[in-house]
Amino acid sequence: MSAVEAFRTALSSLAANKMRSALTMLGVIIGVASVIALMSIGRGTQVAIRSQIERIGTNLIFVTPGVVRVGGVAQAPGSTSTLTREDAQALQDLPGVVAVAPVFQTSAQIVYQRSNLRIQVYGVTPEFFAVRGLEAADGDLLSQTHVETGMAVAVLGANVAAQLFPEGDPVGQFIRLNNIPFRVIGVLAPVGGTGFGSLDNQVFVPLSTATQRLARGGQFRGSEVVSQILVQADGADRMPAVMEAIRGVLRERHRLLDGDDDDFTLVSQQDLIQTSAQITGTLTLFLGAIAAISLIVGGIGIMNIMLVSVTERTREIGLRKAVGARRRDILMQFLSEAVTLSGLGGLVGVGIGIGAAHLIRGIPVGAGTLRPVVQGDVIALALLFAVAVGVFFGIYPAIRAAALNPIEALRYE
């Protein structure tokens, strides 16, 4: 029996019991649709996170406080700041460095008329806006003069401006940060992102103003501390060399010996992208594995129906063997039926899965929206798995049918 003939025979047998065949395929349809929809959501999340990281800026290196020992006891990373403004100044002239932006982070109570919010305040220099690719939607950004004179001026994130000034223009108005009046000089263009860490939810003031008037960051080796230092390299290929140069300068400035661990941490933008890709990739596989369980259940349903079919068609099998059908012909017939059930179910499931992915596109989730990404490899994997399920769960009923004794089969009632 040729493959084409076996397929025709399978379709004819399945058409004789349309409702039963449709219900049997339902498990496979649900399984394939779930695999495609959930893995598309995972892929979409991966793309969204990558784009958000890349939106932070280009070729960035994040220098943050590391582990420092106080009295011989290791403190938690970041609990004691080891970075200073002088460290940032020392990094500006390194080869391959385009810009350096020290940042001091603190929280403050912001008040305007009847609005009262607890927000994060970033003390920054003008370089911060350049390395992060930020622009003003209204007014101006901070200048070097603001930093040098310690002026009480502020730039609002887009969400903060919308909350405090829902109908008016913030520029030129005065807000109070920790009961200190600040004049608003600009509003950032929205940058997106989610949660409390989004720059749309922050307020930006001159670095000197933040450390001297809003919060005392303290001293480290006689210098004013900062929360982190952003370093922009002049190209992705220069990132490793620039990171090594930064490490060397900071170890020398912090008087670390050869056997001492770094008291700072260096993380590149590529490190963040790779880490996020690993996490979201694992999440995507996990979602796909959960959805694949329903495919297994569908396969069990196929085996069950095929066993029932073998019992119902015992006399037919005996008759076919009596007129010359070989063992492999019977095997091929029933295996073809199982594979046809799973294959057709898989094709229908692909259509439903793609449709579901498009239907849920744009649904709000937190501060963002779902953006599923349907890719060909996911579709191919789901279809291949569906056919494999049909083969695996159809082989036993097919072998059982092929093994029937023709004389006993003809006597079967």
Is 334's pLDDT higher than 50? yes
Residue of higher predicted confidence among 389 and 15:
389
The pLDDT of 329-343, averaged and rounded, is: 81
In whole angstroms, what is the distance from residue 27 CA to residue 254 CA?
64
Please tell me whether residues 320 and 389 are part of one structural domain: yes
174-183 residue pLDDT tens = 999 999 999 9
Structural domain boundaries enclosing 240: 67-262
Higher pLDDT among residues 118 and 362, named by residue: 118
Q: What is the pLDDT of residues 236-279, one digit of tens each?
A: 788 889 999 999 998 888 888 887 888 888 888 777 777 777 88
Does a structural domain hold residue 84? yes
- How many domains does the structure of the chain reveal? 2
Q: Tell me whether residue 15 is in a domain.
A: yes
255 and 291 fall within a common domain = no
Residues 258, 288 within the same domain:
no
Sign of CA dihedral 317, 321, 326, 327: positive
**Is residue 98 domain-shared with residue 24, that is, in the same domain?**
no
Q: How far is CA 413 from CA 13, 15, 51, 62, 318, in A?
A: 20, 24, 67, 79, 12
Is 60 within the bounds of a domain?
Answer: no
Asked if residue 58 belongs to a domain, the reply is no
Same domain, 292 and 362: yes
Is residue 62 a part of any domain in this protein? no
pLDDT band (50, 70, 90) for residue 78: very low
> Could you tell me if 242 and 284 lie in one domain?
no
Residue 217: the pLDDT is 60
Distance CA 341, CA 28 (A): 9
pLDDT category at 316 given cuts 50, 70, 90 is: confident
pLDDT in tens, 106-131: 989 999 888 888 999 999 999 999 88
- pLDDT > 70? residue 407: no
Taking the alpha carbons at both ends of the chain, their separation in whole angstroms is 27
Q: Is residue 269 part of a domain?
A: no
Within a domain: residue 256?
Answer: yes
Residues 256 and 126 grouped into a single domain = yes
Pairing of strands 174-177, 97-112: antiparallel
Confidence (pTM) = 0.66
Q: 35 versus 8: which is more confidently predicted?
A: 35
